[in-house]
Structure 1
Amino acid sequence: MCKNNNFYKKNFIFKIIQNDLKNKKYNFICTRFPPEPNGYLHIGHIKSICLNFFIAKFYKGNCFLRIDDTNPTTENIKYINSIKKDLMWLGFKWDGNIKYSSNYFELIYEYAIELINKNLAYVDELSIEEIKSYRGTLLLPGKNSPYRNRSITESLKLFRNMRLGKFPEGRMCLRAKIDMKSKIIIMRDPVLYRIKFQKHHHTGKKWFIYPTYDFCHCISDSIEGITHSLCTLEFLDNKVLYNWILSNISIKNYPKQYEFSKLKIEYGITSKRNIRLLIKSKIVDGWDDPRLLTISGLRRKGYTASSLKNFCYHIGVTKQNNIIQLSYLEFFIKKELNKVAPRAMAILRPLKIIIDNFPVKKKIKLLIPNHPSNKNMGYKIIYFTKEIYIDILDFSEKEKKNYKRLILGKKVKLRYAFIIKANKIIKDNNGNIIHVHCTYYKNTLGMKIDKKNQKIKGIIHWISCSNSKAVLFYLYNNLLKKKNINNTDNILSYINKKSLQIYNGFIEKKLLQEQKKQHFQFEREGYFYLDKKYSNKKQIIFNQILSLRKS
């Protein structure tokens, strides 16, 4: 999994497990990855996946995949399928069959009955709004519900009738009886069950009541024999409730919860609520939009499973919340692709160049490497012809400071080919450049540009017009204009309207036939990924992973 043990050595959770094993608290380690199927997995989940699966493998234990399906209102089978697909793509295999929280509904219901019988839970008839107002604030204590002291017999009867579907949604709920004056708000009589007349993907229409995450999660951990329940710091207060529930029901296994910092990346959006809003507003085209940090979005953009895992292994696991620079994530895919991605020339913003002193029917065959430092990747043939494309950014009518490209009346070197000089510009009626007439210098093939050739401005890439293939290039910028936003922020006000730019350009005609790959480095442009999912015979799409251009 990881080439070194740094992930193990720098991880405080591993130290806890080591001590537990040393003190013989456990002789077999069991972890789990418990996503809620209400959206696609994102990069934050990869950190949790790596941690839970790495621990299980390191200690030769088990790691389960548990689908936390306690809310049929927002859950969908398509999300479960995407979760499985993402895990398999990342290279992780869960132990045994997939677990579902819904498998334990009957047991969880019986534990709720046990709490009622112990006078530690009651059926409440306050509305959701009233429950919130009764709960109080961080500064003000909550107050008891008028139904808090109803008899055990009455609560049992009402709860059983809730299960039978005799009350409408929102009419009643089951709450734990803990302490409405607790400094930890979650301990102020939290809701354990709510009524939902919604068909469940797994249990169908069997249930009319569903346990809350907090009530179900700890019991599911115990049933599965989880030894170390790992979650992010946002669940720190929930741990008190986690322990309270397990301490007050007759359950055998008693897992312990440990928290680590959540993964946050600059300009990143991981909130499922916000992603749904972006999809609904048609700002992104789905959960796999390459501008999102969902696993499917990163995969479609061109990130590899190994680069994402290596990123998570290197940032480590701590209790300190911080925001990771986007460039650090990009470093790992760049490091990987720099070694394996074939080089090619592509023109994103084409400008036609006509070589006046080159014969119309002539073409010169050029043999160039697929990779400048890896000869094992072989060579390919490209052609130099009378008409070629260059990028319009590589041409200027006038001199510019530090501009080392083609300038009217000046010379430039074509990559792997000749030196050319721009002589004349042809424009349309609106003043737009249609094409540029140039001359080429026959004896400059293979000439190196050095200090002796000060008149040569620089080296630019190009493609023969007759040996090119039209494609679309999707260039992605940050979806947000702000480095970091809170989940409560109005996300639509921070959207970068230029986060996607689409260019009609060209690649080498036989590139995809000769290279059975999806990743390429288009010279001077960046790393790109062939989007096979959305490409077809009529339209080929390349998604930009990283840019190489500085201007």
Structure 2
Amino acid sequence: RELVETNLVEGWDDPRMPTLAGLRRRGYPAEAIRNFCKTAGVTKVPSTSDIALLEHSVREVLNRIAPRRMAIFDPLEIELTNWSEDVVESLEGAVNPEDSSLGVRKIPFGKRLWIEQSDFREEANRKFFRLKTGGEVRLRNAYIIRCDKVVKDDSGSVIKLLCHVDKDTLGKSPEDRKVKGVIHWVHADSAVEARVRKLNRLFTEEKPESDVERAFTEFFNPNSSEEIIVYCEPSVGDLNPEESCQFERIGYFCRDAQKEKETDSLYFNQTIGLKGDAQKKL
């Protein structure tokens, strides 16, 4: 109550709050909460359960039911030098590979793409399977590309990659070489802008109430919520209000209908990473 009354959070349904309203707005499925309760069980004495147990239940359910989409959080431009400017191809990707009955979604592909900054290195060792200068990588649901040239600004920062696309690799692997890495991407000219609220732990300490000399609000994490702009494939607009999806290779996110009314834009709350360390990608 004190968090709400002192305006440290937006309300009882703030997605950082451990209330049913907050968990729902964050995108935690009811099935996952029920599964967690069954697993934790009932005891005769007060006890606590590790939050990882709840998060495991959430991932398990969302992996099975959440549609997939691609989104870029930290964009790096790619220009395909052997692709025509006026050609935009419509590719297909599974809505959810765990449920083939959901069919496929259309994904536009063209000359200008965006990938994550973290998926490229100018120089890298043999264990780096993403894109590097002179190296190849598979674009998810698309072709294999090779980075031929790096374009930098006056400060020396990489701003664009000039790449060659192997047009004979859609849905199949080349016979003369093996390409291990797969990264996600979006078509720059078709990308849809969305706001994402990245969420962290509400408190800086695991048990803020255990310090008898300090109020638990003193351990409130001021960095528990951060809003950023991301770029998504166009089919994110097909998601229903309050529906969760997986941004491939990043994590699960839920549309926030209330925030969309306030901001007049697509808005997602971060639900949870794909694994315990997946949030480092954000």
TM-score (norm 1): 0.46
Q: Give the aligned partner of residue 405 of structure 1.
A: 130
Q: Give the aligned partner of residue 147 of structure 2.
A: 422
Identity %: 32
Partner Cα distance (1:346, 1:497) in 2:
26
Match of 2:264 among 538, 543, 547: 538
Q: Give the aligned partner of residue 470 of structure 1.
A: 193
Show structure 1 runs of 5+ residues with no match. Answer: 1-271
Q: Which has the higher strand share?
A: 2
Partner Cα distance (2:156, 2:17) in 1:
39
Amino acid at match of 2:161: V
Q: Give the aligned partner of residue 182 of structure 2.
A: 459
Contact preservation (8 Å) 2:152, 2:159: yes
2:64 paired with 1:339: yes
- Structure number with greater CO (CA < 8 Å, separation at least 6) is 2
SS at 1:329 equivalent: helix
Partner Cα distance (1:474, 1:360) in 2:
34
Residue correspondences, number: 273
Structure 1 pair 297–406 and aligned structure 2 pair: CA distance change class (3 A): same
Partner Cα distance (2:119, 2:217) in 1:
36
Match of 2:100 among 348, 365, 375: 375
Partner Cα distance (1:461, 1:342) in 2:
15
Kindly report which structure 2 residues correspond to 1:2-81, keeping only aligned pairs within 5 A, or say none: none
Q: Give the aligned partner of residue 109 of structure 2.
A: 384
Contact preservation (8 Å) 1:427, 1:433: yes
Partner Cα distance (2:223, 2:156) in 1:
25
Alpha-carbon shift at residue 538 of structure 1 (Å): 3.2
Alpha-carbon shift at residue 449 of structure 1 (Å): 8.8
SS at 1:505 equivalent: strand
Contact preservation (8 Å) 2:129, 2:181: yes
Contact preservation (8 Å) 2:251, 2:279: no
Partner Cα distance (2:196, 2:177) in 1:
34
Show structure 2 runs of 5+ residues with no match. Answer: none
Amino acid at match of 1:301: R
Partner Cα distance (1:475, 1:302) in 2:
13
2:87 paired with 1:366: no
Partner Cα distance (1:507, 1:383) in 2:
11
Q: Give the aligned partner of residue 89 of structure 1.
A: none
Q: Give the aligned partner of residue 547 of structure 1.
A: 273
Q: Give the aligned partner of residue 436 of structure 1.
A: 161
Q: Which has the higher helix share?
A: 1
TM-score (norm 2): 0.87
Structure 1 pair 510–499 and aligned structure 2 pair: CA distance change class (3 A): same
Alpha-carbon shift at residue 370 of structure 1 (Å): 0.8
Q: Give the aligned partner of residue 207 of structure 2.
A: 484
Structure 1 pair 400–294 and aligned structure 2 pair: CA distance change class (3 A): farther
Q: Give the aligned partner of residue 496 of structure 1.
A: 221
SS at 1:323 equivalent: coil
2:156 paired with 1:396: no
Partner Cα distance (2:30, 2:205) in 1:
27
Over alpha carbons, which structure has the higher Rg? Answer: 1
Over aligned residue pairs, what C-alpha RMSD do you find?
Answer: 2.4
